[in-house]
Amino acid sequence: MADAPFQPVSDPFAANQPPAGAPITVMGQFLKDLSFESPNMPALMEQAGRVPQGLIKVDVKARKLPQAEQQYEVMLSLRAEARHQDQVAYIAELQYGGLFQVGQIGTRMIEPLLLIEAPRLLFPFAREIIANIIQQAGFRAMLIHPIDFAMHYREQKSQGAAPAVV
């Protein structure tokens, strides 16, 4: 087998063209920001075996990329906070993004597609990052259940706080 010379592609997305007719295609994923703090360690280590009570907050935002037609950045933000009694065990914050190519769909469908389907595709990767960092910090992994992004979108919309695609 002969070795072919490596030639980088000048446009990183040129070789990754979406299939014809696809309503949405993931062009890339990235970690934008990750923060973890455990303000009461090592005092909490004395209470080994205790599982702190946690909660997850979710936010989704989308914006159109100015340099590319029909390409959008979708940012999924997760905040996991856990407490043991009255002490903060940890706070983990993650912004995990994706670049998405939207196919030929109606204008009314773009917002739900980007704020429901896109974060649904990003969520398993973001959940794994949060679970890993919590374990690496010495805590038991937080079980993060799947999120119903359609319900999240409807709730935001009904409260008048749905993040529009900008």
In a domain? residue 10: no
In a domain? residue 5: no
Structure tokens, 125: 């990767």
Pairing state between β 24-37 and 53-64:
unpaired
Q: Which of 74, 82, 90 is nearest to 37 (CA)?
A: 90
Q: What is this structure's pTM?
A: 0.79
In a domain? residue 12: no
Q: Determine the structural domain holding residue 71 and report its residue range.
A: 24-158
CA distance 145 to 151: 14
In a domain? residue 111: yes
Domain CATH number, residue 103: 3.10.420.10
Give the dihedral sign, CA 37/41/44/45: positive
Per-residue pLDDT of the chain (166 residues; tens, 9 = 90+): 455 555 544 444 445 555 555 688 899 999 999 999 998 887 776 665 556 678 899 999 999 998 878 899 999 999 999 988 888 989 999 999 999 998 887 778 889 999 999 999 999 999 999 999 998 988 887 788 899 999 989 888 888 765 567 6
In a domain? residue 124: yes
In a domain? residue 52: yes
> Structural domain tally of the chain?
1
φ, ψ of residue 113 in degrees (nearest 5)? -65, -45
In a domain? residue 56: yes
In a domain? residue 9: no
